[in-house]
Amino acid sequence: MKEVKQYQNEKVLVLGLAKSGFSAAKLLHRLGALVTVNDGKPFDENPAAQDLLEDGIRVITGSHPIELLDEDFSLMVKNPGIPYSNPLVRKAEQLHIPILTEVELAYLVAECAMIGITGTNGKTTTTTMIGLLLNQERESGKAYLAGNIGYPASEVAQKVTNLDDMVIELSSFQLMGIEKFKPHIAVITNIYEAHLDYHGTRENYVAAKWAIQENMQSEDFLIINWDSKELQDLSKVSKASIVPFSAKQILENGAYQKENELYFRNERIMKSDELGVPGIHNIENALAAIAAAKLKGVSNSAIRTALSHFNGVAHRTQFVTAINDRKFYNDSKATNSLATEMALSGFENSQVILLAGGLDRGNDFDELIPSLEGLKAVILFGETKEKMADAAKQAGIETILMTENVETAVPMAYELSQPGDNILLSPANASWDQYSSFEIRGDKFMQAVESLEA
């Protein structure tokens, strides 16, 4: 870990715990800061706060008292999930207190190069792929996964050396809180409309994603989806060296698919159907990962081996099991229509029973209708089930059923299925109307499949 002295004896407020806030508080304490942690969860229900108090870190829990900011803090480190509309955050802005996320701290202390991945969809899969590729035939050091993928960047940054790499998945929330953060390689998988309840406008959301390249220079590489006209236009103002990828067009200066084969800068890497995961979206993810790996000097044989054995990550078109020649797939991470469109692109619709529905954010599902056409059946649950039923009817689906939740949908889907069918959980909605996270929703799906198998 680099020696950083700028926080010694500085009063720092860490707002919000969870994994990232907890790790940030620990790191700042280690760097000699005078840390105060403020979290909304009551102390007796807050193991993380209890742990920090035992380390001698001041904790204030149960509410976010605005008078905290009377204490002349020089910095606020905000949990990414806390919106900028929070009164404490607004007050900090008025007082011109810098507001960072723990990704900035990670960058300041890490000794190794960083590869940052953002985008609306495909972040986790692409991050995981890059980590696998960089570790496949590595002789020294290691590629560590970090960030939004579940490993706090400020924790990972403390253990890496200059022989390692940090491969960081970055949400728009995290990228809003950076100042000096500069990855050597950055990937933007795609940009669509998302998280408007947090960002307010699409323009704000795009600006947050685009911040990943804010500090990059010509010696750094920005890998972007060239099938997005918006990203093409944005790339014109970036100082980074642009490396495009596309599943639809030949790009001699980047990664592309041609006649069912994947290339990087006119060098054949592997066949598209050798990938261990289905769907055009996974071809795009693989092309982005291949570009990053080739820029880091990974051999073609290592890339082929890693990607052909890659079976996906949890909750992202994850193969669960097969029961009596019916295959079950968990794509609970599909929290918007585009993600479900991408998942369906990897299957023959006539052999798919789709399980979908969830939190109503006020949107309709008209854009999903073409992808629903030809499905064998849909089983819907959650707040949006009526809206999704309307979309399914417009798509011409004859079998449309409604049920209480994911758990009850699984046996219904099995009863409808025949040998050769695929039962796909790809909700096209956030989970928060019924489940506290998409991970828990996916776990409930898999548990229901296990009960069916038993």
Point out the annotated binding site for ATP.
119-125
> How many other CB atoms are there within 10 angstroms of residue 72's CB atom?
8
Task: 35-44: list long-range contacts, CB under 8 Å, 24+ apart.
Answer: 36/11, 36/12, 36/60, 36/68, 36/71, 36/73, 37/13, 38/13, 38/14, 38/64, 38/65, 38/68, 38/88, 40/16, 40/64, 41/17
395 vs 454: CA distance, rounded Å: 35
Q: What are phi and psi of 202, to 5 degrees?
A: -65, -35
| DSSP string of 127-186, one letter each residue | HHHHHHHHHTT-SSS-EEEEETTTB-HHHHTTT--TT-EEEEE--HHHHTT-SS---SEE
410 vs 379: CA distance, rounded Å: 9
Cite the annotated binding site by residue number.
Answer: 119-125
329 vs 309: CA distance, rounded Å: 17
Element (DSSP H or E) covering residue 449: helix 438-453
401 vs 314: CA distance, rounded Å: 26
In contact, 377 and 354? CB cutoff 8 Å: yes
Q: At what angle do helices 47-54 and 18-30 cross, to 10 degrees?
A: 10
The DSSP bridge partners found for residue 327 are 322, 422
